[in-house]
Amino acid sequence: MTAPIEHCVKVSLAERSYDILIRAGLLGEVGRCLRGLGFSGKVAVVTNPTIRRLYAPAVIQSLKTAGYETRTIVIPDGERAKSLRWVSTILDELAVARFERGSVLLALGGGVVGDITGFAAAIFVRGIPFVQVPTTLVAQVDSSVGGKTGVNHALGKNLIGAFHQPRLVLIDPETLKTLPKPEWSAGMAEVIKYGMIADEEFFSYLERSMDALLRMEDGPVAHVITRSCQIKASVVTEDERESDRRRILNYGHTVGHALESLGKYRTLLHGEAVAIGMVQEADLARHVGLCPNEVVTRLRALVHEAGLPDALPPLTFSPLWGAMQHDKKVAQGRLYCVLPERVGRVAIVPLERAQFKHWFASRPRMPGRDVGRALSE
């Protein structure tokens, strides 16, 4: 039997640099990988009930075989667990177990688990190391890389948090085989985003390969994970703290985060919201003359092929604009939005209320795919 191919992507941040390792079977080697980094303290595995049942036994056995004392901390499934309440629960567990600065937190799960674990690691005894072991597509290609950690606030998504880079990211694509289809499609939104913001050739590859990706063929899946991580690592290396270029990673998220907030994090998966946001923001770019209609058409078609929604749910202008004002891209009272100029290149532009309202009122009512669920206004 041929050994699985391992891909390694480097995030180069001086003393905060780390590797992203991508290979089938890595779950059973977590302990060895941590020993390779020189960790010798306790390890707390933060996960949710579903992932605990599916993958925690293999990870914990690997850690114990490597000689680590382990503790498992379980938080609920879903975006609503991404709150200060559950950060406090993690901190309580760490304090009771007498974790120290040499101890390690390990995030085993999707984006919610990774974000909340990283934030807890950033603030416990003023910072302890953490390792990302993402098990969903959106976490493997996006949220596990780059050091953004945090939780939601009632007024907006990710308003509370810190930059805290992981010491290592271990991606085992085998975990995707138990991912529900809606979660798989939701992850594809972030993959499509990378093509839109930085790599037209990659976008074209997705257009040619979406059928194979939806069948979860090993080669194409490994390629899109690796290429997505390469693009994000490049952006993060250039702009770790989101002062300039890293903001392009927020394409689709200005409208997307607002939709999630309006739905109280119950209505849309993150990737579904981002897919809608990308298409609507592309149409906004068309409206203001920034990109040709062909960009919107290609993007909409690829989003559809991935099984994702593209149409705004039923809502009026004021709640949407109001929710967008709590976006992290507001600077000195002005909202900035990432808009495409063409496939593979975007611009960061200020967005005026009147401009957005005119687009909202005049946007074409093209037949689109929605989520079939209304938001709470």
Count, in order, helices (H) and strands (E) of the chain. 14, 12
- Of 82, 167, 193, 246, the catalytic one is 246
- Of 48, 152, 158, 250, the catalytic one is 250
Binning the chain into helix, strand and coil, the percentages to the nearest 5 are 50, 20, 30
Taking CA 197 as the corner, what is the angle to CA 108 and CA 288, rounded to the nearest 5 degrees? 130
253 flagged as catalytic: yes
Q: What secondary structure letter does DSSP report for 225? A: H
- Of 232, 298, 328, 329, the catalytic one is 232
- Of 253, 286, 298, 328, the catalytic one is 253
Q: How far apart are CA 303 and CA 169, in angstroms?
A: 28
48 flagged as catalytic: no
**Runs of H (alpha helix) within 124-165:** 137-138
CA 42 to chain centre: 27
257 flagged as catalytic: yes
Amino acid at 40: S
232 flagged as catalytic: yes
Q: At what angle do helices 270-287 and 353-362 cross, to 10 degrees?
A: 100
10 Å CB burial of residue 181 (0-12, 13-18, 19+) is exposed
Q: How far apart are CA 4 and CA 251, in angstroms?
A: 33
Q: How far apart are CA 329 and CA 106, in angstroms?
A: 29
Rg (CA), the chain: 20
Phi then psi dihedrals of residue 373, to 5 deg: -135, 135
Residues in the chain: 377
153 flagged as catalytic: no
Cβ atoms 274, 252 nearer than 8 A? yes
- Of 29, 79, 190, 272, the catalytic one is 190
Q: Output the CA torsion sign for 228, 230, 235, 241.
A: positive
Q: Helix (H, G, I), strand (E, B), or coil: what is residue 176?
A: helix
Residue 304 in tokens: 């559809």
Q: Which residue has the tokens 């392009």?
A: 248
Residue 376 in tokens: 């709470």
Q: What secondary structure letter does DSSP report for 291? A: S
Q: 98: part of which helix (H) or strand (E)?
A: none
Q: Which residues are catalytic?
A: 126, 148, 190, 232, 242, 246, 250, 253, 257, 270
